[in-house]
């Protein structure tokens, strides 16, 4: 297991940063890609965040481990490596490291995840982070989540391996979930069941639903046959992100 500092040092050289070219302490959105790695759609979301006046950072969980997109597609997408609980350490380490940068307002942070990235964020929320080993880290601490004001989860993986299915959240930021009716990885009915459960726990969760598939915002995804690109749903999701940034980080 790594310390928080060691894990962030591994991630830092591969972080992609977007936002105003200044050193003013600004709110930040920290983005976590799906199991296929960083795709062009995340860059579009970063541009939308920058237009909203905040900083955006994409955390690459694969390059620091020496994994190609092909390798990750075979192992991670099949749940054989780096499940949500294991990757949750990347999420906490990214918050730990970025919140200490002078150009980041550590009291106004948002975590955004797509599919596997959302899974990692949600698994982090189930852990108290008060003992060595939580999030697969030697020195986790809940204090690093104090400035996380919101979670933006796009077609989150909500299935049998996700801890949120069986464990309550120990941390409860305001949450926006983008759901799809044709998601082959997590049924809409199952997703709604979890959303209702989170609300019973006291988590403020809003949802937006599209008649779309998993990964609807990735142009060219149509070649998989079970997923299809939907530009209108992408545009609406970008609008939802900017509105959520405005209401949560303002």
Query: pLDDT (tens digit, 9 = 90+) per residue, 22-31?
Result: 999 999 999 9
How do residues 115-137 score in pLDDT, each as one tens digit? 999 999 999 999 999 999 999 99
Give CA angle at 34 (95, 195), nearest 5°. 80
Is the distance from CB of 120 to CB of 113 less than 8 angstroms? yes
32 to 181, 190, 233: CA distances (angstroms): 22, 23, 20
pLDDT at residue number 15: 98
DSSP tag of 143: G
Q: Which residue has the higher pLDDT, 160 or 14?
A: 14
Helix or strand (DSSP H, E) at 245: helix 231-249
What's the pTM value of the predicted model, to 2 decimals? 0.97
pLDDT at residue number 21: 86
Residue 223 burial (10 A CB sphere; 0-12, 13-18, 19+) = exposed
Q: How confident is the model at residue 69 (pLDDT cuts 50, 70, 90)?
A: confident
**From the centroid of its chain, how far is CA 184?**
19
Is the distance from CB of 83 to CB of 35 less than 8 angstroms? no
How do residues 151-163 score in pLDDT, each as one tens digit? 999 999 998 899 9
């Amino acid at each position: 297991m790594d310390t928080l500092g060691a894990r962030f040092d591994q991630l830092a050289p591969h972080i992609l940063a977007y936002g105003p070219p200044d050193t003013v302490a600004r709110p930040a959105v920290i983005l976590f890609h799906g199991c296929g790695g960083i795709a062009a759609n995340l860059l579009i979301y970063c541009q939308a965040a920058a237009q909203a006046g905040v900083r955006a950072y994409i955390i690459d969980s694969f390059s620091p481990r020496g994994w190609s997109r092909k390798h990750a597609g075979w192992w991670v997408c099949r749940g054989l490596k780096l499940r949500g609980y294991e990757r949750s350490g990347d999420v906490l380490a990214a918050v730990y490291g970025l919140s200490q940068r002078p150009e980041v307002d550590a009291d106004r942070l948002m975590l955004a995840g797509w599919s596997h990235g959302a899974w990692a964020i949600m698994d982090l929320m189930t852990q108290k982070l008060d003992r060595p080993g939580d999030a697969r880290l030697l020195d986790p601490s809940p204090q690093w989540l104090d400035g996380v004001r919101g979670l933006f989860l796009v077609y989150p993986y909500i299935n049998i391996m996700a801890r949120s299915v069986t464990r309550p959240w120990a941390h409860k930021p305001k949450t926006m979930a983008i759901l799809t009716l044709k998601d082959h990885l997590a049924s809409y009915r199952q997703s709604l069941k979890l959303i209702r459960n989170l609300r019973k726990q006291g988590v403020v969760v809003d949802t937006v639903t599209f008649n779309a598939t998993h990964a609807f915002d990735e142009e060219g995804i149509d070649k998989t046959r079970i997923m299809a690109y939907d530009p209108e749903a992408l545009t609406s999701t970008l609008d939802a992100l900017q509105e959520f940034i405005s209401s949560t980080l303002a």
